[in-house]
Structure 1
């Protein structure tokens, strides 16, 4: 058993000291820190210089109202008048302004605007001008129809709409939004962990075979011990990296939670994290990794060249991608029938059952059934996989076909 721990420690220490691991981890930590502090970073590099837009009011009646409304709605915008388009184009060319807006009326007396700039990629400015023009049109209609502010407010007020769950145990809309953020992040963790580290095992086994190191290893340690030592060694590496990522991400998001209210964070909340979700995340990350890592080790043992690894594990990679896509689509409707069914399929359940657990009140027996099916599949795959691995490490030559699995099983009987 000492040889098992030697291979286990060697696999872990070799990988954690490798330049690729250090660089990848450092880049990801910087990226996580940057994303969670994006508001502060933008403010730091923001020169606070107001953007200038010119307005040519061809009606002669709307400029002052437009200017006041636009600058009130956007504090970073300055609106100025220009006499004609020629002057406006000159100011744009000299970069005195970023663009100009032509305000006119059509044959029906409706207000319309045309925004012109060298580049129209800055949609924030054009969207703001469009919103201001809509407000101007609203004021015009209000005056023409002699409407009060209360009547205008009543016309623009959206209909009251609420969602109420009839089941007492069902999560509220606020609870779902809070859970969705954590589930979204952890789904990516499961996806990348399973995909990246499973491929790492297959590549390492193939590398050892191509360098003939395998011949030395199998003479000193049984192939089955060798396989599981590598799987668990890379698993520890996986959790080391995940703890670093989640630790930094959690601290950064908590520190900036009050500022992260827009875009992604307006829908995906992080305010209340249930410990049970974190426990299930650990369980499904571990089980999903063990399932695919065992399969990857078997497939890696069949090939003799590192170049053949990706083509051999492509079906496995496809299964992971399909599971991830189902989970992503299920975020908006976790109670869908196809989500429920696939949550019991072992190659999909690490992501999809976790999605259901995070978003819904799933009966415990369903979660337990899914976990037991997953554990049973891992056990079955470990038994078959160990035989494939034992025969596969002895196979050399070109191996790109799954027919080689049969040959590996035959060789395992004689090894």
Structure 2
């Protein structure tokens, strides 16, 4: 056991001191900060003032209600009346005195018409903003023409109030489901990126040691099972350290901007987290990590060069991506047959069964069966993986396919 912790701590400390750890951590933290301040950054980069739009109102009665609509929406778009001709207005736009020229008029049926002139029409945000307010003005003119009050129109087009009520008393309420979806989604994202990132890291770490010939010495002095799982645990501790940093920074960033972001933490269910869902999430996270980490270590032992790692772990990457895509589908249809079936398949159950547990009220035996199958698969992979690992670390030369597993097993039998 002492050798196990020596290898685990060495793996953890060597990785946490590496430049790649600091670079990746800083880059992801920057990404988190950018995402939580996305609106503010976009506003700064685009400029708080979108610029003035010159307006030629041919009727003399359209600009005022259009400006009223703009003020009600608190948009930064500014319309300024232009007294010159259309040609003069175009020239002013070309000289960048205005960002655009808008002409307003009414046809013979008193239906609103508009023409938009700009140096280029690539700024679709500005165009859609203007068009949206023109559409509201058009509706207002039409209702006035028909003698219908604006309040009546708003009442007609207001959203229908519909409450969803589950007849099964054991089913989750709509509020509980909304909270559950948030935490389930967060845990799925964590599992997906953790398995993808740290699984690759395990395979790369094994391949690095193997390419330096250090592996031959280690395997001769330490059991391959101990060495393999020591690597897995060492990288897991590294991952937990990094994820903990991300969660803490993300949490405090969201808390600081909670009022601006409309209570995102509450909407994601992160303030009223169900203890049972959280425990299931941690359990499936750990089991899913160990399943894919064992597979990654086994595949990493088959390659002789670090450059070959990405090619060798392609099948594992496909499994993770398929599981994630099924999980995204399952978020909207947790009772679908394909979700139920795949929740018992070990490669998919960490994500799919967690979705069912979080969003449905399923029997405990279903959860225990899925966990049992998952644990049994991990143990089988551990036995097979250790044998492949023991032979694989002694297998040198170009690794081209998973057929090298057979060669690794043959090397193990010879010892």
Match of 1:344 in 2: 344
Secondary structure at the counterpart of residue 400 of structure 1:
coil
Q: CA deviation at 1:65?
A: 1.9
Match of 2:17 in 1: 17
Q: Deviations over 1:106-135 (max 9, x none)?
A: 454321223232344444433332232222
Structure 1 distance, partners of 2:115, 2:334, is 44
Unaligned ranges ≥5, structure 2: none
Match of 1:257 in 2: 258
Q: Deviations over 1:219-245 (max 9, x none)?
A: 222222111111111111111111111
Task: Please say if residues 291 and 381 of structure 2, whose CA atoms lie closer than 8 Å, have aligned partners that are also in contact.
Answer: yes
Match of 1:205 in 2: 206
Q: CA deviation at 1:338?
A: 1.3
Task: Please say if residues 55 and 103 of structure 1, whose CA atoms lie closer than 8 Å, have aligned partners that are also in contact.
Answer: yes
Q: Deviations over 1:44-84 (max 9, x none)?
A: 77864463222222334322222222233234232111233
Q: Deviations over 1:151-176 (max 9, x none)?
A: 32333233333322222232333333
Secondary structure at the counterpart of residue 292 of structure 2:
helix
Secondary structure at the counterpart of residue 55 of structure 2:
strand
Secondary structure at the counterpart of residue 101 of structure 1:
strand
Task: Please say if residues 56 and 102 of structure 2, whose CA atoms lie closer than 8 Å, have aligned partners that are also in contact.
Answer: yes
Structure 1 residues 267, 120: CA separation in 2 closer, same or farther (over 3 Å shift)?
farther
Match of 1:331 in 2: 331
Q: CA deviation at 1:138?
A: 2.2
Match of 1:219 in 2: 220
Match of 1:190 in 2: 191
Match of 2:77 in 1: 77
Match of 1:314 in 2: 314
Q: CA deviation at 1:16?
A: 0.7
Task: Please say if residues 165 and 171 of structure 1, whose CA atoms lie closer than 8 Å, have aligned partners that are also in contact.
Answer: yes
Secondary structure at the counterpart of residue 137 of structure 1:
helix
Match of 2:397 in 1: 397
Superposed, 1:124-273 pairs within 5 Å as 124-261=125-262, 268=268, 270-273=270-273
Secondary structure at the counterpart of residue 302 of structure 1:
coil
Match of 1:363 in 2: 363
Q: Which moved more, 1:393-402 or 1:120-129?
A: 120-129
Q: CA deviation at 1:192?
A: 1.0
Q: CA deviation at 1:149?
A: 3.7
TM-score under structure 1 normalisation? 0.92
1:377 aligns with 2:367: no
- RMSD, matched Cα: 2.4
Q: Deviations over 1:356-414 (max 9, x none)?
A: 22333333222222111111100011011111111111211122222221121122122
Secondary structure at the counterpart of residue 397 of structure 1:
coil
Q: CA deviation at 1:249?
A: 1.3
Structure 2 distance, partners of 1:99, 1:122, is 10
Q: CA deviation at 1:267?
A: 7.2
Q: Which moved more, 1:37-46 or 1:169-178?
A: 37-46
Superposed, 1:106-121 pairs within 5 Å as 106-121=107-122
Structure 2 distance, partners of 1:174, 1:119, is 47
Structure 1 residues 296, 133: CA separation in 2 closer, same or farther (over 3 Å shift)?
same
Q: Deviations over 1:310-354 (max 9, x none)?
A: 221111110001001111222222222211211111001111222
Task: Please say if residues 71 and 77 of structure 1, whose CA atoms lie closer than 8 Å, have aligned partners that are also in contact.
Answer: no
Task: Please say if residues 140 and 150 of structure 2, whose CA atoms lie closer than 8 Å, have aligned partners that are also in contact.
Answer: no
Task: Please say if residues 388 and 409 of structure 2, whose CA atoms lie closer than 8 Å, have aligned partners that are also in contact.
Answer: yes
Structure 1 residues 304, 336: CA separation in 2 closer, same or farther (over 3 Å shift)?
same
Q: CA deviation at 1:42?
A: 5.5
Structure 1 residues 50, 26: CA separation in 2 closer, same or farther (over 3 Å shift)?
closer
Match of 1:103 in 2: 104
Match of 1:409 in 2: 409
Secondary structure at the counterpart of residue 104 of structure 1:
strand
Structure 1 distance, partners of 2:6, 2:271, is 43
Secondary structure at the counterpart of residue 332 of structure 2:
coil
TM-score under structure 2 normalisation? 0.92
